[in-house]
């Protein structure tokens, strides 16, 4: 199975849930920039203070800040595979990531795109009850996704790395679908 991965998809598509399941089952390292940022906010670090307001508005924190976080984690990726969840979020971050992975001799193997309808996304996010999950903020996060993140779909498709998976249905079935897509069976 391909084990150096990136998850792409709109907020609410289940990236975090599926990433955690896949990583647990295959001993891969799960790296979620959203989780890392929330930990900084909870710990009240300078970085967390800078990120908090931006996150609560549903906007993207600066590339410099996110890249600093990601760079700090690269040394701990190990050699059992990894899954980047929520990063890169725009083309500039993707372009910054590539040489970093080349440098550590661990190039990306596949990009998994989780696809889901907007109505289902909204419903899922409203039921999570996260601080940045009220209806207006969710709408804005979807807009930011379309504007900034969705161009990555073509970016990775052109590189021949994109694998699309239908992210509707029960959690276990979606995990199975992702695994099949990554083993090519
Ligand atoms: P997530 O848990 O991936 O939905 O991320 C929650 C929030 O953290 C996002 O709405 C952004 O404000 C911020 N965030 C997470 N990852 C990134 C990233 N790669 N670039 C910029 N902002 C990010």
Q: What is the pLDDT of residues 81-120, one digit of tens each?
A: 999 999 999 999 999 999 999 999 999 999 999 999 888 8
Calpha distance 116→95 (Å, rounded): 26
185 CA → ligand 1 middle, Å = 32
Q: What is the pLDDT of residue 84?
A: 98
Residue matched to tokens 């307001």: 53
Please indicate whether residue 86, judged by its CB atom, sits closer than 6 Å to ligand 1. yes
- Residue spans per domain, the chain: 4-183
For residue 91, which of 154, 47, 44, 133 has the smallest C-alpha distance? 154
Calpha distance 142→118 (Å, rounded): 8
Reported as a single tens digit per residue, the pLDDT across 39-82 is 999 999 999 999 999 999 999 999 999 999 999 999 999 999 99
Percent of the chain with pLDDT over 70: 99
Instruction: Specify whether domain 4-183 bears CATH 3.40.50.300.
Output: yes
Reported as a single tens digit per residue, the pLDDT across 151-181 is 999 999 999 999 999 999 999 999 999 999 9
Neighbours of 158 (CB within 10 A): 9
For atom 14 of ligand 1, the residue with the nearest CA is 34
């Amino acid at each position: 199975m391909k084990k150096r991965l990136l998850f792409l998809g709109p907020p609410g598509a289940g990236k975090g849930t599926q990433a955690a399941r896949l990583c647990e089952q295959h001993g891969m390292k799960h790296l979620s920039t959203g989780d890392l940022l929330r930990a900084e906010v909870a710990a009240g670090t300078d970085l967390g203070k800078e990120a908090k307001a931006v996150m609560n508005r549903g906007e993207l924190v600066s590339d410099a800040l996110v890249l600093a976080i990601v760079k700090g984690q690269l040394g701990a990726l190990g050699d059992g595979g990894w899954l980047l969840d929520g990063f890169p979020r725009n083309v500039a971050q993707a372009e910054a990531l590539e040489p970093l992975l080349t440098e550590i001799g661990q190039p990306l193997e596949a990009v998994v795109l989780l696809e889901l309808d907007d109505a289902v996304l909204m419903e899922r996010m409203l039921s999570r009850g996260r601080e940045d999950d009220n209806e207006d903020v969710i709408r804005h996060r979807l807009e930011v996704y379309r504007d900034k993140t969705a161009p990555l779909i073509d970016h990775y498709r052109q590189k021949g790395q994109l694998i699309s998976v239908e992210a509707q249905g029960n959690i276990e079935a979606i995990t199975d679908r992702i695994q099949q897509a990554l083993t090519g069976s």
